[in-house]
Structures are given as structure tokens and as C-alpha cells.
Amino acid sequence: MSEPRQCSRCGARLGPGIPSWVLRIELTANFDGTLDCSSKAANEADRAIETVLRQIEWMDAETLENQVYQFFEFTLCRDCRDHYSANPLYIT
């Protein structure tokens, strides 16, 4: 027997036959592809890379991955779907 479902936002129980929606959010780092190739920029880039490598040396893999990629998945009831859809970025 499957586990009872519930809304990730409000906790409402979603019994058999009750409609629900899956909300997936994927966050990825967004590099625009632009690199400054001047000599001065190259020297600064080398120093910046060395600094970053020192900073991340002792960080665990999950922390590093979260800097460039995150994925979330939620189950929503109808009311919470409507609430989320009306303003997905919570802009006031």
C-alpha cells in the first residue's frame, strides 16, 4: 500500500483520487560565456582562480554542488497550486 500523500506547502492530506500537482524547481548557475582575455584580466583571473581553489579546498561536495545546482520537488494541493501560480516569485 502506498504512503498517503500530502501537500508540501499546507500539509493537507491528498487521499486517493484527490488531484495534486508536482512543482519542480531547478536552479543552475548562469555563466554568460564572456571572458575578458586581456593580459591584465588574465593575471587577475589566475589570482582569482587560485583564491577560489584555496577557499573550496576544505568544502564538502554537497556544499560545492549547491553553489551551481539545486533541485526541489514539491506536491501541491489545488489551493496551494493556485496560490503559487498567482505569484511564483513572491513579487510584492
pLDDT tens track for 62-75: 988 998 999 999 99
pLDDT band at 35 (very low <50, low <70, confident <90, very high): low
pLDDT band at 82 (very low <50, low <70, confident <90, very high): very high
Check: pTM over 0.85? Answer yes or no: no
Residue 79 confidence (pLDDT):
97
pLDDT tens track for 38-69: 666 667 778 888 888 888 888 888 988 998 99
The b-or-e profile of 5-25 (16+ CB within 10 A means b, else e) is eebbbeebebeeeeebeebee
